[in-house]
Amino acid sequence: MNWQPLLELGQQQSYAQIAIFQHGKPVMDYSWLDQPVDVFAVQKGVLAILIGIAEERYLLEVSDHMNHHIDPEWTKLSPWDEAKLTLETLMNMTTGMNDRLEADGDIGRTWRYNNVAYQQLKRILERHTGLTLQQLSHEWLLRPLGLNNTHWKLRPSATEQRDSQTELISGLWSTAHDLAKIGEALRTDVLVSSSFRESLSQSGSQTNPSWGRLWWNNNANIYMTPGSERQFQGPLLPMAPQDLITTKGAGGHQLTIVPSLELVVAITRLSGRRPMVNSDTLLWGTIMSIANPG
């Protein structure tokens, strides 16, 4: 197969790196920038994998209530409503809260992208393991896969405020090579069980069925985007297979898996370069013409 058109597209779209596996083999691994970059919300997909590993080690269950793992009154909800929150509720972004952790919607139903509540998932993992996020990522994920260019780093958050003080939260720096290796290990059930992997493609809410457990899926007929209450008709990527799942970061970073094509695609982008409006259409139109020419 000729993957050259993707290099031309990557040049046009200001990719930092692109890496692709198909049928278990690397078919492309190219860098315009030879260093890790902040992949933003792609970290959520990686954290979901760590939660899956923690569940298989019997450290927690995604159905656990949050207040079984952290002290109560961590939100501004009523005690009754706060007690309803589970790890899965946070992963599905159906907390019924705004960024100030105040009531804003229906718990378990209303989808709202909440980066503040999400941070508690990291803290639960650290509390149960006694390790930092970087340490447990190294032990559970990076060292077993032989990866050296993926790191959690602290950075100030523009969205999380506590008593007028900006709280430092962790961002994930990685490369397309490392992300693709993680994606291939996820696809082949090296990291977590097939049942947990399959759960990442399931709907987490009625209002945004294209999101569940910190991953996007392509099998729903409605989707929403972060920061908006608008619902869009159709699947997330209508030009791509329905079984696609993806974790995406601001600016066009992504790790995408298409089980039916045995395909893994990882893309990172140069900092400060905004993707074109039709970037996903161009990307998946090109990929599908190469990977599934029939």
Answer whether residue 63 shows pLDDT above 70.
yes
Lowest mean pLDDT segment, chosen from 1-5, 32-36, 136-140, 247-251: 1-5
Mean pLDDT over residues 170-199, rounded?
Answer: 97
d(CA 183, CA 151): 16
Please report the domains of the chain, with CATH numbers, ordered by start residue: 34-146+162-262 (3.40.710.10)
Sheet holding 151-162, edge to edge: 37-38, 165-174, 151-162
Q: Give 162's pLDDT tier (boundaries 50, 70, 90).
A: very low
Contact 124, 70 (CB under 8 A): yes
Q: Which run of H or of E encompasses 282?
A: helix 279-291
pLDDT digits (tens, 9 = 90+) for 92-122: 999 999 999 999 999 999 999 999 999 999 9
User: What predicted TM-score, i.e. pTM, was given to this entire model?
Assistant: 0.95
DSSP state of 258: E
Answer whether residue 138 shows pLDDT above 80.
yes
Joined tokens for residue 225: 């985007």
Lowest mean pLDDT segment, chosen from 48-62, 63-77, 260-274: 260-274
Half-sphere exposure at residue 162, Cβ-oriented, CA atoms within 13 angstroms? 9
Other C-beta atoms lying within 10 Å of the C-beta of residue 292: 13
Other C-beta atoms lying within 10 Å of the C-beta of residue 166: 12
- Average pLDDT over the chain, rounded to whole? 93
Lowest mean pLDDT segment, chosen from 56-70, 99-113, 162-176: 162-176
Answer whether residue 160 shows pLDDT above 80.
no
